[in-house]
Amino acid sequence: MPRSPAWLNNLPTLGLLVLAGGLGTIYHYLARQPDLKARVPEFIALALGAGILYLAGVYLVERFVPGPAALLIILAGALAFRLLVLPLTPSLSGDVYRYQWEGRVQRAGINPYATYPAALGPSAFQDPRHPLEVGSTTPTLYPPLSEMSFSWVETVSGYKRLYTGLDLASIVVLLLLLALHKQPLPRVLTYAWNPTVVVSFSLDGHHDSLAILTLLAAILLIINRQRALSIMFLALSFLAKFFAVLLLPVFLKRTRWAYAGLFGGLVALAYLRYASAGRNLLEGLSQYAAGWEANDSVFRLIVRAGNSQAQAELVVGMVLLALVAYALKQRLEPLRAGLFLTAGLLLLSPNAFPWYFTWTIPFLCFYPSRSWLLMSVTCVLGYAPMVAYAAGQPYRDSPLILALEYLPVYAWLAYEGWQATARAAGLRPTD
């Protein structure tokens, strides 16, 4: 049998090189824009274009499994994309300016759980160029590890470097997990090149990368049977962003249920640092849960069906418990459970900001669900309310934009569900 020409064997690698050039061109263009807040429609169009190139890259990796040269291109591209947008001033979200305020408050010896920006005055601890527009009467809702990280850095560029560094560290842990599972290392592209990840951490400086890194480390540790240490890192992930608690039952079933005490003890110890806030310790989180709703799908439908906010929260809470019970019954391993539970949470949550979807993307390296890969790209439409907000109007979601963002994903999920049902019944659905 004749051998394939060398250039034909190198086509996937060349294809990745071309895609990296296209993505780099998009990020270079974005980096030259002085204020993306004034160009949100253009940003969304470019981000969707980057998403198409990204999905093509995922296809090449999954279909052809390229070699070491491709991995080098993937890692170099991941670093280059982040460095291109790192100098940009965050404008698509003001969260990083709240981090800065809370860091300054803590360095001044003030408990961020016991106060809020309006209580200290508009000039106190705020960046005068970027006054806090949202949550000025709300104490912090972030957990203690996140609060501590806010006090480590003083400048906005410092936060961006910190959380981008943690994001890059997650790529390293993903490579270790892929090697442990004997899966092709180029699959790391699924996380490393995802536009939502690049925008969330390197452009806007969101701190979710801290929770993602510690969660991935916890999974690596539990797979290596370092049980106590894995529970400790899971607690750290929870103390950075609360979503990690969904995986606690999955971890406890693989270790010992007594380790719940270790998890709870570490959480209590972290909160003890801020205990002087007393009853206000969870006030910010309570206000957020009661008053915020943005870029949601199932939750919005439950509320629009005539239910109150509290009733809708009860319904989604029960469904989430059912999802956890299902993950335990099916004995889902931690990476699969991570995708299943975090994706379920985002579809049920009253708040699903675009950067929240970064929680699920690492798991796609191992379970590349087509529907959720699409969701990781269309979630950029969640920035659409910024158009009206930048013009001084209320922050409000458009039903049309929400339909464009979610309906293709739900349709694909339904098709995948039908395929699974047909296979279980012994049928052979066409792919």
> Where are the strands (E) in 194-308, listed by range?
none
Q: Which pLDDT score is estimated for 5?
A: 53
CB atoms within 10 A of CB 21: 11
Confidence at residue 293, expressed as pLDDT on a 0 to 100 scale = 86
Single-letter amino acid, residue 178: L
CA pseudo-torsion sign 79, 384, 92, 242: negative
pLDDT of residue 427: 59
The angle that helices 156-180 and 68-85 make with each other, rounded to 10 degrees, is: 160
Q: What are phi and psi of 352, to 5 degrees?
A: -140, 65
Mean pLDDT of the chain, nearest integer: 92
CA 289 to chain centre: 19
List residues bridging with 294 in a β-sheet.
Answer: 351
- Long-range CB contacts for residues 54-59, cutoff 8 Å, separation at least 24: 54/19, 54/23, 54/193, 54/194, 54/195, 54/377, 55/373, 55/374, 55/377, 56/15, 56/19, 57/16, 57/19, 57/20, 57/189, 57/193, 58/189, 58/190, 58/368, 58/373
Contact indicator for 233, 221 with CB cutoff of 8 Å: yes
Average pLDDT of each block of 10 consecutive residues along the chain (431 residues)? 53 92 97 89 96 97 88 97 96 92 93 89 78 84 96 94 98 98 96 98 97 98 96 98 96 93 96 92 85 90 91 95 96 96 96 97 97 97 86 82 96 89 69 47
Q: Taking the domains of the chain in order of start, what are their residue ranges? A: 6-369, 396-431
Residue 73 DSSP class? H
Identify the bridge partners of residue 351 per DSSP, sorted by sequence position: 294
- Mutual orientation of helices 95-107 and 156-180 as an angle, nearest 10°? 110
Query: 97, 392, 361: which is closest to 213 by C-alpha?
Result: 361
Model confidence pLDDT, tens digit, residues 111-138: 999 998 888 876 778 887 887 878 788 8
pLDDT computed for residue 429 by the predictor: 53
Res 431: pLDDT: 47
Name every residue whose Cβ is closer than 8 Å to that of residue 6 and which is 6 or more positions away in sequence. none
Task: List Cβ<8 Å contacts ≥24 apart for 382-385.
Answer: 382/294, 382/295, 382/352, 382/353, 382/354, 383/40, 383/43, 383/44, 383/47, 383/92, 383/354, 384/40, 384/44, 385/294, 385/295
Q: In this predicted structure, what is the pLDDT of residue 121?
A: 76
